Structure 1
Amino acid sequence: MKRFSTRNLVTLSVLVALQVILTRFCSFNAWNVRIGLGFTALVIAGIFYGPVAAALVGGLGDFIGAVAFPTGPYFPGFTLTQVLMGAVFGLMLYQKHSSEPLFSKASDSDATSFSFKTGSASMILRIAVAVLINQCILSLLLNTFWISFVYGSSFTGLLATRAMQAAVTAPIQMIIIYVLGSVLKRADIRNVLAV
């Protein structure tokens, strides 16, 4: 396993803080539904640092957020789901993990264009697979199971409202990740993130 430098650890700590802020303060929360931008910290960690780092950002972000800013009782199952979500983003989007990097390294002088080394179809497919696994399996099924377990609610009753959440959230996440790529490929952003 690759060791992280001090700069990488600081960057990952900032991503944990970003996930806490975006999840706890910049999202719509109800007892059984959460729609927000907290996933972007996992995506950034997954793209640049891989599945282990993204899983750590997801797990630590959820745990710290749940302890420092609780919206209900802490349950480790939700933390496990965030760890798995980070790992999925890392496995599908990590630029050094695949023989086909998600984002190509554009030249420094060409900072406004967004080019893909392997073509848009491969990139879009990898984004879609990552989001669909996270939304349909982990968020919809696993988190619904955790909610029904913690609150004693009917799993099938919760599934309908949470299915609507997944149907709305999945395409929005795909678009955000696609657009986020145009920002993340810039050389100055890569330097800040120690990539």
Structure 2
Amino acid sequence: MDKKFDVKKLIQISLLIAIEVILTRFCSINTPIVRIGFGFLPIAIIAMMYGPLSAGIAYALGDILGMMLFSSGSFFPGFTLTAFLTGIVYGAFLYNKPKTWPRIIGAVLTVCLVINLGLDTYWLSILMGKGYIALLPTRIIKSVLMIPVQTLIIGIIWKKVVIRFTNISHA
């Protein structure tokens, strides 16, 4: 891992964090129990290009910045932890490894089923004072819908955009 300060990397990650905030706060369907959106995509791109730690920190920063700038409720650190872990998972599956469909599917399944369905549902049960099991049916439907969407979008964006972007930025 390159330890030197890299301005280009910092600018690219910052731009992707800004896109994540916009996609999450303004281009999502939000209910008290479920958020359906595309904020995962910039983080998956950071994870593929710069690794798990960069993606985890970027998503946590995006969560904090989004809450500070466009608050839709009170800050809850559990969701920031979820964001950090999501970046870590995408990076663990996709950084410096072939971007194969099984890897992308593995990353998405881990994020959607373990982190979003498991942890986020737990955080919501704490915040809403409702039982974990009572929240599960709606959250399971969301996960079932988002798994193929996230898988396809990450795979297509990798092949169509990120590879070209990486080639251009290295020129």
Whether these two folds match at TM > 0.5 is: yes
**Is residue 165 from structure 1 mapped to residue 142 from structure 2 by the alignment?**
yes
Among all aligned residue pairs of Structure 1 and Structure 2, give the percentage whose two residues are the same amino acid: 40
CA contact (8 A) 1:11 1:194 kept: no
SS in 2 for 1:185: helix
Aligned pairs, number: 169
8 Å Cα contact 1:46-1:87 kept in structure 2: yes
Instruction: Give the conservation status (yes or no) of the 8 Å contact 2:45–2:158.
Output: no
* Partner Cα distance (1:152, 1:140) in 2: 17
1:185 corresponds to 2:160 = no
Identify which of 129, 133, 140 aligns with 1:156: 133
1:1-195 correspondence to structure 2 within 5 Å? 2-3=2-3, 4-94=5-95, 96=96, 98=97, 101-102=98-99, 123-182=100-159, 183-186=161-164, 189-190=165-166
TM-superposed CA distance for 1:133, in Å, is 0.4
Which structure features the higher share of helix residues? 2
CA shift in 2, pair 1:92/1:157, >3 Å:
same
Q: Residue 169 of structure 1: CA displacement?
A: 0.5
Provide runs of 4+ in structure 1 moved above 6 Å.
Answer: none
Deviations 1:5-57 (A, max 9, x none): 01111111111111100000011011110011100011110110000111011
Q: Is the Cα–Cα contact under 8 Å of residues 85 and 134 in structure 1 kept in the other structure?
A: yes
Q: Which runs of 5+ in 2 are unaligned?
A: none
Larger Rg: 1
TM-score, structure 1 normalization: 0.82
Gaps of 5+ in 1: 103-122
Amino acid at match of 1:58: Y
**Equivalents in 1 of 2:169, 2:31: separation in Å?**
33
Assess if the C-alpha contact under 8 Å between 2:51 and 2:92 holds in 1: yes
